[in-house]
Amino acid sequence: MKVLTDIILSKSAFSADIDVPIEKIDIADWLFNLAEAEYQRCCPPDHIAAATTHTDDGRLMSINVEMIGTGLVVQHYVAEEAGPTYCRMNSISDVFTANGRTQVNVIWELKAERIDGGRTRYTNAVTAHPTDAFMDFIAAHGIAYEDAAKARQDAGGDHNSRETPLFAASIARRALANAKMAA
C-alpha cells in the first residue's frame, strides 16, 4: 500500500490550556498507560476502545477504535517519537464505511508547550493522507476526492475539537496523580 504524502485528506489542530507546569507533564507516559475507560471518557460517544502493544520490531503502538463521522476507524498508531512533551504517532488506519472498508494514513501529534503562570498548552494535531487503496475505493464508489476530503475534514475537525480539551484534562490528571505518588 502506498501513502500519498503529497496530498492532505484532512488536517486539524486544537489546543487547550491546563493548570499544570510542563515539568510535570509526560504525554508518552499518559498515552501508553491510558486505561480504556479513560480513553472512552475523552470523546464520548465516539471513543470505543483503546489498548497499547508493540510492533514486531519492538516499537510502541497505541490501538484506538473510534467513530469519526459515520466511519468506524481502527487506528494502529506506531510511535515515531514518544517523549514527555511531544509524541508523533503514525497509523495506517482501517476505515469501515457503509460502502465497505478502506485505509488512510493518519499522523497524530500530541504536543505540550510552556505558557505563563506555570501552565501548559496541549495541542492535538491530526493530519490524514489518502492511500492508493483509498483512492481506488472512492473511485469504485463514484465519490469525488473533493467530496471525500470535505467529509473527512468536517468529521475529523469536529471529533478533534471535542477530544482535545478532554485529552488535555486527562493528561493533567495523570500528571497530578504521578506528582502526588512521587511526593
pLDDT tens-digit map of 28-54: 999 999 999 999 999 999 999 999 999
pLDDT of residue 125: 98
Q: Provide the 8-state DSSP code for 19.
A: S
pLDDT of residue 94: 98
pLDDT of residue 182: 78
Q: What share of the chain has pLDDT > 70, as a percent?
A: 99
Q: Provide the 8-state DSSP code for 140.
A: H
Residue 45 near residue 136 (C-beta atoms within 8 A):
no
User: Cβ contacts of residue 43 below 8 Å, gap of 6+?
Assistant: 66, 159, 162, 163, 166
Which residue stretches of the chain have pLDDT < 50? none
Extract the runs of DSSP E, i.e. beta strands, from the chain.
Answer: 10-18, 47-54, 60-68, 71-82, 86-97, 100-115, 119-130
User: Cβ contacts of residue 7 below 8 Å, gap of 6+?
Assistant: 129, 130
Residue 78 cell numbers, joined:
506506531
pLDDT of residue 78: 98
pLDDT of residue 179: 82
Is the pTM higher than 0.85? The answer reads: yes
pLDDT of residue 181: 83
pLDDT of residue 132: 98
